[in-house]
Amino acid sequence: MTIQKDIEYLEAAVPELETYLLSKELYYPLGTRFPQLTLGAVLLAITRAGLRAESFRARVESIRLKWQSAWDAKAGREVKARSELWMNYLAEYRDDPKFGARLYSQNVRYRAMLNLLGKPAHESDALLKSIFIEGNFIWDEECAGNFSHEIFWYLFGTLKKE
């Protein structure tokens, strides 16, 4: 996803954020043009877009403060769901490392979302470090500066293919 697409996603998602927080849905539809609304997806888009998303960051923070308990409940549910998706991907990688390595750039977003949702360390990190090859930023270089190498180390490289 490009930064422009992140901005377009935020333009569609942020106006729906309060309604989403108060809904029972974990994955909230935004039509066919955009990925579903989740807190992790919003936080990832804001982080990827950096300074271009400052107005969205402020609005999201205001909504978070207003609806803190709903935010915490939804974030807790999403951490569980994203963690399962991430662990499933790593299991698939172990079954077929060559294929799994090709899918890393798409699936590592789950790990980044976990971090942004308040889970900086994950039970899979030891395994991930053992199969990780440090290298270039995994997504568009344009957003690399918005991710601390120290915190988001897993975005600066790829996985072994065997």
For the stretch 64-96, pLDDT in tens is: 999 999 999 999 999 999 999 999 999 999 999
In angstroms, the Cα distances linking 135 to 24, 99, 108 are 40, 19, 14
pLDDT tens, position by position, 103-155? 999 999 999 999 999 999 999 999 999 999 999 999 999 999 999 999 999 99
Cα–Cα dist 101/49, whole Å = 25
pTM of the complete model: 0.95
Identify the band that residue 162 occupies on the pLDDT scale cut at 50, 70 and 90: confident
